[in-house]
Each structure stands twice: as structure tokens, then as C-alpha cells.
Amino acid sequence: MDINIRPKPYLLFNAFHLIFIIFSIQVGVGLPGFQRIIVMESGHDAWISVIVAGIAAHLVVMVMIATLNRYGSADLYGIHQDIFGKWLGSIINTVFIAYLVLSTTVVFRAYIEIVQVWLFPELPVWSMAIFGGLLAIYAVLGGIRVVVGVSVLSVLFTLWMIFLLYFPIQYAEWKSLLPIFDTSTLDILKGAYKMSFTLAGFEILYYIYPYVKEKEKTSLFTHLGLLATNLLNLIIMVVSLVYFSEGQLLKTIWATLSMFKIIQLPFMERFEIIAISLWMLVILPNAILPLWAATRGMKRVFGFKQKYSLHGIVIIIFIAQMLLKTRDQVNMFFDWFSNKGFYLVFIYPFILYVLVLVVQKMRQKRGLASNETKAPSNKSSN
Amino acid sequence: MRRKLLQTKVQIKIIIFIFTSFIMFLLTGCAERTNLEDLGLQTAIGFDLQNDGKVLGTSVLHHFKYLGKSPSQVLVAKADTVKGFRQAMNLKTSKKLVSGQIRIALYGEETAKKGLIRFMDSISRDPKIGTMLFLAVAKGTANDILSYPYKDIENIGLYINETLEQNINGEQIVSSTLHEVINDYHTDGQDFVLPYLIREKDKVNIEGLAIFQMDKMIGTMKPREGFYLKILRDRFDAGELELVLPSKELKKSVKGIEIPKKININIDNIRSTSKIELVNKEKPEFDINIKLTLNIQEISEEIDLNKPETMKILTKLINEAFEKESNTLIRKLQLLQTDPIGLGCLYNHSIRDKKLTSEKWYPLYKNAKINVHFHTKIMGAGVMD
């Protein structure tokens, strides 16, 4: 397996699209109901937690880009292979593929849960799971450029929904934000920790980096995308805090969707029907980007053809969704997933960066000693 | 050979495409189907707790008809749970009951006195019901108001909705949408009030406001008190009020030989902003400063309004009248131990590290000192001099 990949030029996409990719993969099933989880920890100072978590995400992305810059055009699989060698590298790569597959499962299952509660209580899980799966296969088969295109469209078609916040703002009670810093620092940090599930997704950069056309602009556009998500999270959190009272927020599972409940139209039963249907577009990039990355991994690590592994993975996801039956099971699975995800998404990049630095320094020393001028990035382990 | 293979591949793709889209279209019918003509839209629901613990539910339906008037229908059923009566009601109608357009939830007085949270929770839990419906309390039973055969009212649910909406926009009563009520209920140190409706023969009137402590009704308020509550609570736009002022200080300005003891004036275009401040944190003391602008619409005596000192005295008298009535209202609320102004909420947001619950707040509130100051500005006195 080559550590660096040099995709054919027609497969590359402009760095500018990274804004849409990062934004669309971060905004997903976390956003409809993240308020309650954060407020449980940090009360009416929850918005500070959102800011803290956002800054942490920017730091992580900085480290990720620094790591990627040490190689020219490598993805995470290649870097693992380089650092850990063939066997250990493959095992760690498998863990990350599993994480990607699980994240797709979580996204689909969470969306089905929302549809079942809000729109069609009688709808069986399998029907939505099948259609979600087919849609995902269809999109991923189109290749990276289609996947990126879906992200761009997803953002463009759904961004207008932010203006709906106008309705709850009319009922805002701004004094509920006072007194600021009423919560202890520890609780604010705990709240920030709970944001990891909502913020996760930007780790996709590790996998799509080789396909970015102008690599030197990666940093700028990734941070812009991240900033957009952070601002959106912050706005929604603040509006939720002033619209709901704290006790009410703690009882509301999908606060963002509940805010839509005040929109009253004479010709429509409920506005959420539109909002939730459109949410399918929002979560689609959440599902297909990791799915694409996972099939890439199957090809890079095990040499499976992407087409075949894609079908296999989608079947696994389908079965996994069917296994999660009750709300309790779904919640337990999500908690478990977001706890593990925190370490993989927020902690691991730092460890990896240090490892890459150490390994490359060691190689440089050895290289100087043996008079080898070859840079490690040109090495191939296969 | 290769070209042929490519052709068949394209053909297969087209077939798959047609097949899947066909299935997609067919399957859209698999989820719940709803035809407008088959629906009974609920516009109002009423709840009355019976003596045996059962809930008597009343719901007003709006039917769709191809031609002519859309008739309304009233269904009544009993059940053990709040939601349970819907099932029983479905047995009584040819239409499928849907709850997305419920505009008003009405509670009987006895029910309200026993506590409403059970009912409000059940409504807010339902994703199909919006949070902008109005809650109200009926004098007597909700069933009586909703099921009475009114002569002039086509659909009582929509009628009450319009009545409330009109009066809330006209700043006569405090808004009581489900969201605001639930919000107030969950805010420590803040109680809610609901419109208090009464049926008089063929009409439904707003009799005043029902005062709540937590979720239990503990008294009523007259519309005039409701007006003051609204002024104390938040911004106020375009209202109207009658005031009775003592004439002693105005003697000089009044024309005419015999001067009555009281002068009645009517003011309108009242705009106000209220600013509440917590001045003492140890022993709760609040300053409520209300800036008021108004127009004088009518005065029972002939008064020379051109003189600056007359205006000064008039302003002072109006301030005093407002302050007196506000203080009476506040005293009443303090004695009842209910806080619809939200002073406790303000207190809670001004102190640190202390979690104030409503139970802890009420005794503090009862002895709290509340100073009300009005700052009136008379903008004009109509089109005549």
C-alpha cells in the first residue's frame, strides 16, 4: 500500500468545497437535540461550553493539518501504515474503518428515530433503513466528486432554515442567560466534552485530504467550515436558552425541532413535517462521506474493490440498525459511540501528531547516519 | 462486441432506474394516508376532571365539505387518561380525528384548581400539536362552554381563539400560549395566568384572568387587574383605560361653578416599558420603574389643558392613581403567594450559587418590599383644544 496517494486529476476537487464538506458533515443528527445534553452539565452557561468545544475543535483541526502536511498527499490509512508498520497499522486502520461504519449507522438510526417520533409512528425501521442504504450506495458509487457534490447541495438547500429562528426569537427571554459564569469551570468543561458528538465529523479531512486540489489552501477552508458550524451551534444554543426555560429544556429531547412547533400555518398540519423531511438532505453527507471513507479504507488496507465492500458495509449497517429496537438501546448505543468517538476524534490526532514527529525525527537521524537522502514520504511499504 | 455489451449495460441501468422510481412512488402510500375530507380537524379541546378521577374530554371538530358551510361537531367522551378519550371519540365519528390544528385547550375551573400540569404535559409531549395554542380556564366546566349550541357562532373553537387573539393583540390580557405557560411553569419564581372564560347565554366572554400558583388555580383577577399585570410584567403597546382622579388639586383649572369631588378621565394609546430592579438581595426589595406615555381621550369636566401647571398636576394625579392600583394588585398577589410578574425569576438570575425553587421563593416573596414608580408623560389630548 502506498502511503501517499496521487489521485487522477479529474478526481480532485477544489479546496473551497472543504467549507461545505466540513459544515455538512458536522451538522447532522446531533444538532436537533444537543441542547439538553449540554444544559444538563453547564446549565444556562451552556453556550460557553459550545464556544469552548468549538475552540478545541479548531485546535484539533490545526494538529490534523499539521500531521497531513508532514506527508505530501497521504490519508490516515497511509500514515498509520507508515508509523505502525503493516500489521499494527492494519489493525488500527480496521478500528477506524469500524468507527466510520458505526458513525453512518448512528446517523441513519438517529434520523429514523426522529421520523418515527415526529412523523410516522407506525413506520418500521427496516423500510427507512433500506431506502437510506440504497441512497447511500447510489451516492457513493458515483465516487468522491459526487459525494462532495451532495455535501454542497445539502448545505445550499437547507441553510435557509436558519432564518426560521426568527420565530422563537420573538419569544426570547434574554435575562435567562444571566448571571454569566454561574456554573463552575469543571461543569462548563463537562458540557464542552458532551459537545463532541455534535462536533464530530471533521475527522473526514484525514481521508479526503489527498483529493484536495490546492493543498496549501486546505487549512483556510477547513477552518472556515468549522467556524461556520461553531457559529451555527452557538446561535442555536443561545436561542434555545432564551426561548425555553431551563427546566423545560431539560425535558425537551429535540429542542431544535420543538422550536419549530411555534410556526403555525393555516394550510399545513405541522411545519416540522417539512423541516424533518428536509433534514434527510442534511444528514445525507453525514452518512455517505464516512461510508465513502470506509470503502476507501477497505480498498487501501485489504485490497477489496470499493464497489463490493460498499455493498457489504451497507448490509452490515442495515443489520446493525435493526438490532437497535427501543429508545433505550438507541440511547445506550449513542452514548457508547460518542464516548469512544471523543477519544478517536479529539484526543487521537494529538497522539498521532507526536508519533509522526518522533518517527520522522528518528528516521532523519538514521537517514543522516546511513547517508540516505530519501524522505520518508517516498517510502512505500508494499 | 464490446459496444453491444455497453449497450445492454445502459439498458439494464435504465430498467433499474424505472423500476426503483416506480417502487418509490408506490411506497409513498405505505405511510399514513390522510385525505382532507376524511379528517375531523380538532379546533378546541376541553378537559374536566370528574369526581371518579376520570377525564371528561370535549372536542370541537371542523369538517371539510365539498360545498357549502363547513359544519362543526362536538364530541364528548370519558377516559382514564388525558389522551385516552380520543380513542373513545373515534368510535363516535365517521372522520379520523387529528390534532394538528387545535387552537385552544380549555380547562374546567375545578380541574384547574386540582392542578393542570398533567394535562399540559400530555399536550406538549405530542409532536402533532403546536405550541402556539391558547390555554384558558372555563368558569364551570369546559364541556359546558364547548358543547353549548350557539346560535351565531359557527365553530366555538375558532371563535374563542379569535377572541383571545384579538384581546392579546389589543393588550387587554396576558398572552397564554402553551409555550409561554409551560415556560413560566418551569421557570422558578414565575407563575402563569390564564384567561378566564364565562358563557353568558349565547356568548362567551373573557371574565378576567385565572391566577395560578405552580399549576393550581388559586383565584381570579378582573380584566382591569390584568391590565396592570401586563404593564408591570413587560412592554405594553396601545391600550385604553378609565381612571377616576380626585379633583381637589385641579380646582383652579376646572371651569364651571360646581366642582365634583371626582373627575373621570379616559386615556388611550398607552405605551409603557417596565424596568424591574432588585435593590436588596438579602431581604428582597424591588424597584419597578414604569415609563408611560398616553393620550387623554375624555375628561368628565371642562379643564383647561393648555396651562402647563394643569398638565403637571394631571400627570401627578395619574401617576398616583396608577401606583395605588398597582400596589393593591401586588399586595393581593403577595397574599395569594403567586408571582406572575416574575420577580422571583429576576431574583434568581441576579444572585449566584443559590438554586432558588418556587417553594423557597414564596415565603420570601410574601414579605418582599416592592416599590412601584410610574413616570407618565401626556402626549396629547385628542384633536380638540
Contacts of B186 in chain A (CB under 8 A): 244-248, 251
* Burial (Cβ within 10 Å: 0-12, 13-18, ≥19) of residue A130: middle
B164 and B140 together in one domain: yes
pLDDT score at A378: 45
| pLDDT at position B238 | 66
A279 to chain B, any CB pair closer than 8 A? The answer is no
With beta carbons under 8 A apart, name residues in chain B contacting A258: 131
User: Does the distance separating the beta carbons of B187 and A262 come in below 8 Å?
Assistant: no
**CB-based contact (8 Å) between B289 and chain A?**
no
pLDDT tens-digit profile of A11-66? 888 889 999 999 999 988 888 889 999 999 888 889 999 999 999 999 999 999 99
Strand partners of residue B196: B137, B208
Residue B25 belongs to a domain: no
Residue A97's pLDDT is 93
Q: Which helix (H) or strand (E) holds A101?
A: helix A76-118
Residue of A nearest to B186 (CA): A247
Is the CB of A75 inside 8 Å of chain B's CB atoms?
Answer: no
pLDDT tens-digit series, residues B37-93: 777 888 888 888 888 888 888 888 887 766 666 667 788 888 888 777 777 887 787
**Which pLDDT score, from 0 to 100, does residue A353 have?**
92
| Claim to verify: residue B200 and residue B243 sit in the same structural domain | no
pLDDT reading at B94 higher than 70: yes
d(CA B146, CA B131): 21
Q: How confident is the model at residue A7 (pLDDT cuts 50, 70, 90)?
A: confident
Question: Domain boundary residue among B179, B197, B221?
Answer: B221
- Number of Cβ pairs < 8 A linking chain A and chain B: 70
Domain boundary, last residue among B221, B249, B279:
B221
**DSSP annotation string for A188-240:** HHHHHHHTHHHHTTGGGHHHHGGGBS-GGGHHHHHHHHHHHHHHHHHHHHHHH
Largest CA distance in chain A: 80
Are B289 and B249 in the same domain? yes
Q: Give me the number of domains chain B comprises.
A: 2
- What are B111-142's pLDDT values in tens digits? 888 888 888 888 888 888 888 889 999 988 88
CA distances from A147 to A20, A284, B316 (A): 11, 9, 72
Residues B266 and B194 in one domain: no
Quick check: B306 contacting A, CB < 8 Å?
no
Q: Which CATH number among 3.30.465.10, 3.40.50.720, 1.20.1740.10, 3.40.50.620 corresponds to the domain A9-378?
A: 1.20.1740.10
Q: Is B132 inside any structural domain?
A: yes
Residue B371's domain spans which residues? Answer: 230-380
Clarify whether residues B104 and B177 are in a common domain: yes
Q: Any CB–CB contact under 8 A between B128 and chain A?
A: yes
| B104 or A267, higher pLDDT | B104
How far CA A370 is from CA of A10, A230, A361, in Å, comes to: 40, 48, 14
Q: Which of B101, B155, B168 to mutate to test the interface with A (most CBs of A within 10 A)?
A: B101
- pLDDT above 90: residue B27: no
Interface test with chain B among A264, A277, A280, by most B beta carbons within 10 Å: A264
Cell of A184: 463552575
B27 interface with A at CB cutoff 8 Å? yes
The ipTM is 0.76
Q: Say whether both B139 and B255 belong to one domain.
A: no
Among A94, A110, A74, A139, smallest CA distance to A291 is for A139
Q: Decide if B164 touches A, using CB distance below 8 A.
A: no
Contact across the interface for A247 and B188, Cβ inside 8 Å: yes
pLDDT surpassing 60 at residue A374: no
Question: How confident is the model over A270-299, as a mean pLDDT?
Answer: 89
Quick one: B198 and B241 in the same domain? no
Is some CB atom of chain A closer than 8 A to the CB atom of B257?
no
Long-range pairs for B245-252 at CB < 8 Å and ≥24 separation? B245/B314, B245/B317, B245/B318, B245/B321, B246/B317, B247/B301, B249/B313, B249/B316, B249/B317, B250/B303, B250/B310, B250/B313, B250/B314, B250/B317, B252/B310
Domain end position, chosen among B192, B221, B250: B221
B196, part of any domain = yes
Chain A: nearest CA to B96, how far in angstroms?
A: 14
Minimal C-alpha gap between B128 and chain A (Å):
7
Which residue from B128, B132, B187 is facing A262, i.e. has the nearest CB? Answer: B132
Using the Cβ of B165 and the Cβ atoms of chain A, whether some distance falls under 8 Å is answered with no
Residue A169 touches partner B, C-beta closer than 8 Å: no
Sign of CA dihedral B335, B338, B339, B345: positive
Is any Cβ of chain A less than 8 angstroms from the Cβ of B127?
Answer: yes
Rounded distance, CA A325 to CA A329, Å? 6
* A139-158: pLDDT as tens digits: 899 888 889 999 999 999 88
Q: Look at residue A313 in the predicted model and tell me its pLDDT.
A: 93
Mean residue pLDDT across chain B: 81
Higher pLDDT pick, A312 / B359: A312
> Which member of B186, B345, B351 has the closest CB to residue A248?
B186
Judge: B132–A261 Cβ closer than 8 Å, yes or no.
Answer: yes
CA distance B314 to chain A (A): 35
In a domain, B172, yes or no: yes
Of B98, B352, B353, the CB nearest to A269: B98
Domain-wise residue ranges, chain A: 9-378
Contact A120 B180 (CB under 8 A): no
| Cα A267 to Cα A263, A271, B62, B101, B200, distances in angstroms | 12, 10, 14, 10, 33
Q: Are residues B291 and B169 in the same domain?
A: no
The CATH number that applies at residue B360 is: 3.30.300.210
Does B345 sit within 8 Å of A182, measured CB to CB?
no
pLDDT of the residue at A377: 47
**Same structural domain for residues B241 and B207?**
no
- A183 lies within 8 A of chain B by CB: no
User: Average pLDDT in the A182-210 region?
Assistant: 89
Residue A120 with chain B: CB contacts under 8 Å: 31-32
Chain B residues whose CB is inside 8 A of the A247 CB are: 186-188
Give the distance from residue B301's alpha carbon to the nearest chain A alpha carbon, in angstroms: 43
- Residue B189 in any domain: the answer is yes
Residues B206 and B161 in one domain: yes
Q: Which of A123, A178, A270 sits opposite B31 (nearest CB)?
A: A123
